[in-house]
């Protein structure tokens, strides 16, 4: 195995990432309400020695209720249930810095880290949508820059709380009645623009010190935030050129703020549509796209890019879009959609098909060898440290990947055959942070 | 079995409810970091056909860090792990209305209810302490009355969100591509003093419709809130007279707002200190009290009643306390402590001993027969619908209760021998609420 190790994350999404997955005969929509389904997915990924599983999240009803497979589970609770069904695999939950209190989120991630023996990760999102803000007392969401300013302060508070009990704070002397060395338990005394938090956290330091910090924003603000905080980045590039540029840029930004380039892992999303032959794979892709309900897809695209396309004719090209500086949503996703539509001169209907598989992530249809070639190429040529695997159908698409692609990656010496470490940080080859308070007293 | 059924809740608290439990040779403080310990407790309670297990919570470091057994786990995540280890028993988590957003809490409880197949309950607290508020941006907590006003609005929002998907909203027609009937998915459009929430919740209605609503406040505001919202009340009365008065008052208040008296179950806390003989039990109680560290207990009492007792001599009686109207803390707990100290003319040291076992809940030391007699008396004479069992040592105290007291209660026809229902509501004999939106359209 090469010194540099490939990393794989299994992005779990209901019965599949394709927006019409629930309509396909290879899925069971009843599984959406079944914890055992998700536990099965986590076990499949663990059989494939994936680094982690990941659950996205939002704080609003998303898209068109009529045509969208609705969820039941909230990530932190569901991942706790997955922790009980697995032994090694990392567990990454999305949570927004926009609508929670840092004390509460710090505790819940610390708790998941304790419960799972050091396997918790947090995918940090700032949440762009007004519709989300309307569930939290505001008609209109705050601006893009301010959301990232709040996120940065949020992270400062949360990591301080995670550090507030030093690793050796516990004494547990039954005879003397001393449980903890109070000199090693710290108020954080944070007073900032968005938050004032006294601390300490009411939980001792967790196995990883800090649960793994993951992020996905790719705007200027997003990349600056990632460079400062993220240890793994889920990203969405459609082409190798875009991916290598993003990869190099992010590593450079990390180094510019004093972090090692390999301290931040870049994992583009990939929707692998697998077939025994390329024709078989393409046929499955076409079959899935034929199940898309256009009205639903238009509404989801509207939510995604923040431009109302409800009245636009399906077989015409997109209307002129506003400059990205006017967009208060997910800027990088907006640019991706705009560039894709312009580059390939797509009609709205064609664009919906291209987005239906992976909501902007690259869809690769082919044989296991072709998928493995793609992974190897991107991994070995500066485009990726690994992949965020978004199976179009679940569980079958993940099973296919684990049974047919992972063995090829292992045979090529690219991917582990068993877990070498115990914690999520160890899987990603990342160090356990020292408490900032320990650092001061040394 | 009598028509009226006894209910038992196992209040899980680290390695025991006695504040010095972690120092006793029958406990293992290492268990505090062990999910398997808590899963074992839940299984023991389930073996005893308890209605539920319960986890308290706070959002601050509590008491004296040096002498207090520190926790690791947050209730919603830990209960999710307990759900995986049990099949029947209810799972009740404390969460505060003071420092969370209703949309977030509604989702997490809904998720636990889905994950556990209808076993979730929410112990609603308003959180009195300034120290808690200081972890959430405020130097001083809001006033008692306002906290309950916020709680009432919080409950209105949360239950509306739980109702926002009608039970029959799901269509799941794969052929037609229709997942849900959007006419049965409702925005809640809440605009109130504390919250504005558009809705709907991004989770379909959970097995119980509403997770069970539990509450513990016993002030005037607290009782009014309980009468309006609570389905089970954890309470702390020291004497049979106080208990029957509280019981009758609460049932009357519920009826006054149009609810049936048996729609609200009253469960006083009891710390059962069990021995083969009464002398053995009293000896265990004395042994536990001897392990209390006074400095720690004084600080906890200070936090509990909001009056600083740090400089007060241990062997003198309490200083004059302010009138309860000046207290912005847990008013009923304040009155309980004041009344206990005055009634029995206790010195501070004696008071600490009395409180160390159950933080104000009654401590009953005796044989299994004596404990069963006590339970039967209170249950059959209008003092209780059941008990919140607070074992002084865990797991041993809970095991003793299940192995020696429960069989007596069963033999007397007071308590179930097996679970008759599937959900927590069914255990407590409470109906599943109809969605308020279904009620409108019928």
B63 found inside a domain: yes
Query: Which ipTM was obtained for this model?
Result: 0.94
Residue B322 lies in a domain: no
* Nearest one of B23, B28, B54 to B427, comparing CA atoms: B54
Quick one: pLDDT at residue B442? Answer: 47
What angle (nearest 5°) sits at the alpha carbon of residue A65, between those of residues A61 and A71?
Answer: 60
pLDDT at B1: 42
Nearest to B69 among A60, A101, A179 (CB): A179
Q: Is the peptide bond before B100 cis (omega within 30 degrees of 0)?
A: no
Residue in B68, B100, B135, B293 to test binding to A, most A beta-carbons within 10 Å: B135
Rounded alpha-carbon distances, angstroms, from residue B250 to B92, B241, B261, B335: 21, 14, 8, 18
Contact with chain A for residue B67, Cβ under 8 A: yes
pLDDT of residue B2: 45
| DSSP summary character for residue A219 | S
Helices A144-163 and A102-115 pack at an angle, to 10 degrees, of 50
In a domain, B31, yes or no: yes
CA nearest to B162 within chain A? A72
The verdict on B177 touching A (C-beta cutoff 8 Å) is yes
Cis? peptide before B136, omega within 30° of 0: no
Q: Does A208 touch chain B (CB under 8 A)?
A: no
Rg (CA), chain B: 22
What are the pLDDT digits (tens) for A80-125?
999 999 999 999 999 999 999 999 999 999 999 999 999 999 999 9
CATH code for the domain in which residue B17 is found = 3.20.20.30
- Any domain includes B343: no
Residue-averaged pLDDT of chain A: 93
Tokens 């009645």 sit at which residue? A177
B23 lies in a domain?
A: yes
Question: pLDDT (tens digit, 9 = 90+) per residue, A298-310?
Answer: 888 887 788 888 8
Contact A135 B197 (CB under 8 A): yes
In the prediction, which pLDDT does B232 show? 98
- In the predicted structure, residue A403 carries a pLDDT above the cut 80: yes
Residue A320 banded pLDDT, cuts 50, 70, 90: confident
Mean pLDDT by 10 residues, chain B (442 residues): 83 94 95 96 98 96 85 95 98 97 98 98 95 96 95 98 97 94 97 98 97 92 96 93 96 97 97 97 92 86 84 89 78 82 87 80 94 98 98 98 98 97 98 90 50
Task: Determine the 3-state secondary structure of A55 from DSSP.
Answer: strand
Look at residue A46 and tell me if it is in a domain: yes
What total number of domains does chain B contain?
1
Hey, is the C-beta of A134 within 8 angstroms of any chain B C-beta?
yes
Q: Which of residues 70-129 of B touch A (CB under 8 A)?
A: 70-74, 76-78, 80-81, 83-85, 99-101, 103-104, 107-108, 110-112, 114-115
**Cα distance between residue B272 and residue B365, in whole Å:** 6
Closest Cα to residue A364, out of A270, A289, A276, A288? A270
Write out pLDDT tens, residues A262-298. Answer: 999 999 999 999 999 999 999 999 999 889 888 888 8
Contact between A76 and B81 using a beta-carbon 8 Å cutoff: no
Most confidently modeled range among A53-62, A399-408, B327-336: A399-408
In the stretch 6-65 of chain A, residues with CB closer than 8 A to chain B read 20, 22-25, 29-30, 33, 35, 58-62, 64-65
Note the pLDDT tens digit of each residue in A216-269.
978 899 999 999 999 999 998 889 999 999 999 999 999 999 999 999 999 999
Closest chain B residue to the Cα of A199, Cα to Cα: B135
Residue A292 counted as domain residue:
no
Query: Which candidate from A25, A101, A175 shows the least CB-CB separation from B99?
Result: A101
**DSSP alpha helices (H): ranges in A200-347?**
220-229, 240-256, 278-290, 294-305, 331-343
Q: Which of B58, B68, B110 sits opposite A179 (nearest CB)?
A: B68
In this complex, is the C-beta atom of A180 within 8 Å of any C-beta atom belonging to chain B? yes
Say whether residue A317 is in contact with chain B using an 8 A CB cutoff.
no
Closest CA to A164 of A442, A435, A439, A364: A435
From the list A20, A66, A136, which residue is nearest B178 (CB)? A66
Yes or no, beta carbons of A203 and B73 under 8 Å apart: yes
What single string gives the DSSP state of each residue in B298-341?
A: HHHHHHHHS---TTS-TTSBPPPPPPGGG--S-HHHHHHHHHHH
pLDDT bracket for residue A441 (50, 70, 90): low
- The bridge status of strand B120-125 relative to strand B90-96 is parallel
* CB within 8 Å of chain B, chain A residues 218-237: none
Q: Is the pLDDT of residue A20 over 60?
A: yes
- Contact residues, chain B, for A66 at CB < 8 Å: 178-182
User: For residues A7 and A169, what is the distance between their CA atoms, to the nearest angstrom?
Assistant: 34
Which pLDDT score, from 0 to 100, does residue B73 have?
A: 96
3-class DSSP state of A128: coil
- Domain that includes residue A385, residue range: 7-272+361-441
């Amino acid at each position: 195995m090469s010194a540099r190790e490939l990393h794989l994350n299994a992005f779990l999404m209901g019965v599949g990432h394709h927006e019409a997955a629930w309509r396909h005969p290879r899925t069971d929509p009843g599984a959406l309400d079944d914890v055992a389904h998700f536990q099965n997915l986590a076990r499949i990924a663990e059989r494939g020695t994936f680094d982690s599983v990941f659950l996205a999240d939002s704080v609003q009803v998303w898209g068109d209720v009529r045509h969208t497979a609705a969820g039941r589970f909230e990530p932190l609770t569901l991942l706790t249930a997955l922790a009980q069904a697995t032994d090694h695999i990392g567990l990454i939950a999305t949570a927004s810095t926009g609508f929670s209190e840092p004390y509460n989120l710090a505790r819940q991630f610390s708790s998941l880290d304790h419960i799972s023996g050091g396997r918790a990760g947090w995918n940090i999102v700032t949440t762009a949508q007004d519709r989300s803000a309307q569930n939290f007392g505001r008609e209109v969401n705050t601006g893009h820059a301010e959301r990232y300013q709040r996120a940065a302060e949020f992270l400062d508070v949360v990591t301080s709380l995670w550090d507030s009990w030093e690793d050796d704070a516990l004494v547990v002397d039954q005879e003397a009645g001393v449980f903890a060395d109070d000199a090693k338990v710290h108020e954080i005394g944070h007073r900032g623009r968005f938050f004032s938090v006294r601390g300490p956290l009411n939980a001792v330091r967790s196995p990883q010190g800090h649960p793994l910090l993951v992020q996905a924003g790719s705007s200027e603000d997003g990349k600056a935030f990632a460079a400062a905080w993220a240890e793994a980045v889920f990203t969405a590039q459609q082409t190798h050129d875009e991916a290598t540029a993003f990869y190099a840029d992010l590593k450079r930004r990390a180094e510019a703020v004093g972090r090692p380039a390999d301290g931040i892992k870049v994992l583009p999303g990939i929707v692998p549509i697998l077939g025994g032959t390329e024709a078989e794979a393409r046929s499955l892709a076409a079959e899935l796209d034929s199940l898309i309900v256009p009205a639903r897809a238009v509404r989801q695209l509207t939510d995604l890019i923040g431009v109302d396309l409800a009245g636009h004719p399906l077989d015409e090209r997109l209307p002129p879009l506003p400059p990205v500086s006017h967009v208060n949503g997910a800027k990088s996703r907006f640019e991706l959609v705009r560039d894709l539509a312009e580059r390939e001169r797509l009609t709205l209907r064609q664009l919906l098909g291209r987005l239906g598989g992976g909501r902007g992530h690259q869809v690769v249809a082919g044989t296991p060898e072709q998928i493995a070639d793609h992974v190897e190429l991107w991994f070995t040529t500066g485009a990726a440290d690994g992949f965020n695997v978004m199976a179009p159908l679940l569980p079958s698409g993940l099973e296919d990947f684990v049974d047919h692609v992972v063995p090829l990656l292992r045979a090529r010496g690219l991917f582990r055959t068993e877990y070498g470490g115990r914690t999520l940080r160890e899987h990603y080859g990342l160090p356990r942070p020292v408490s900032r308070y320990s650092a001061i007293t040394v």
